[in-house]
Amino acid sequence: NAGVTQTPKFQVLKTGQSMTLQCAQDMNHEYMSWYRQDPGMGLRLIHYSVGAGITDQGEVPNGYNVSRSTTEDFPLRLLSAAPSQTSVYFCASSYSGKHTEAFFGQGTRLTVV
Amino acid sequence: SQQGEEDPQALSIQEGENATMNCSYKTSINNLQWYRQNSGRGLVHLILIRSNEREKHSGRLRVTLDTSKKSSSLLITASRAADTASYFCATDRGSYGNNRLAFGKGNQVVVIP
């Protein structure tokens, strides 16, 4: 049981480049989310999804796009990378309903130069 | 604004001692959760307390919730070197459950063998 798998683990981008961070889960969870973690800031929600075909913005969505074509996958796209997007990105998934725990991937450390 | 704000403590304790950390939040919640993050890794769920609960135990963990003060505390008893990590509280305010967590900034705990 792999849980939540994120790829790549590390990435360096040049300003203006685009890329997609991959997230896949094998637990048949309905809910999936993307967070970014910056030093001293805790985790902040970027985008989330309550099921295939349904996504919505979180706290810091600007500069990012998501889609959810399958239950398993929830990719995060950086449209035109900026140094301010240097961060560690975490994908999480959970069952639907209240009072369920979130399962996190190991993170993608992104540096934009 | 970010919900869930721990006292920004960096605790350094001896193995066998207890560690206590606090979290406050601003609005109504469905539940409050605590997560652990080891250096460079993803977050791992520790315990969840619902808004109608006041105290919960799980192994060496004890969580309290005071909704009138909008605060929570996490107690780790008889600490071990393996408890060295950052601890985050997160609140769930979403209408449908655990899809929009608001995290605090985290507490770094170092347990000295």
Flag if B98 and A104 touch (Cβ within 8 Å): no
- Per-residue DSSP letters for chain A? ---EEEE-SEEEE-TT--EEEEEEESS--SEEEEEEEETTTEEEEEEEEEETTEEEE-SS-TTEEE--SSSSB--EEESS--GGG-EEEEEEEE-SBSS---EE---EEEEE-
Find out whether A44 and B95 touch, Cβ atoms under 8 Å.
Answer: no
Can you give the pLDDT at residue B2? Answer: 30
Nearest CA in chain A to B10: A40
Taking an 8 Å cut-off on Cβ atoms, the answer to whether B30 and A102 are in contact is no
Give the model's pLDDT for residue A22.
98
CB contact under 8 A, A45 and B44: no
d(CA A5, CA B84) in angstroms, rounded, equals 24
Q: What is the pLDDT of residues A56-88, one digit of tens each?
A: 999 999 999 999 999 999 999 999 999 999 999
Residue B5 has what pLDDT? Answer: 56
Average pLDDT over residues B96-111: 84
pLDDT tens, B6-56?
555 789 999 999 999 999 998 888 999 999 999 878 999 999 999 999 999
Yes or no, beta carbons of A44 and B103 under 8 Å apart:
yes
Size of interface A-B (CB pairs under 8 A): 86
Chain B residues with CB-CB distance to A61 below 8 A: none
What kind and span of H or E run contains B62? strand B61-66
What does the pLDDT look like over A16-55, one tens digit per residue?
A: 999 999 999 999 999 999 999 998 778 999 999 999 999 9
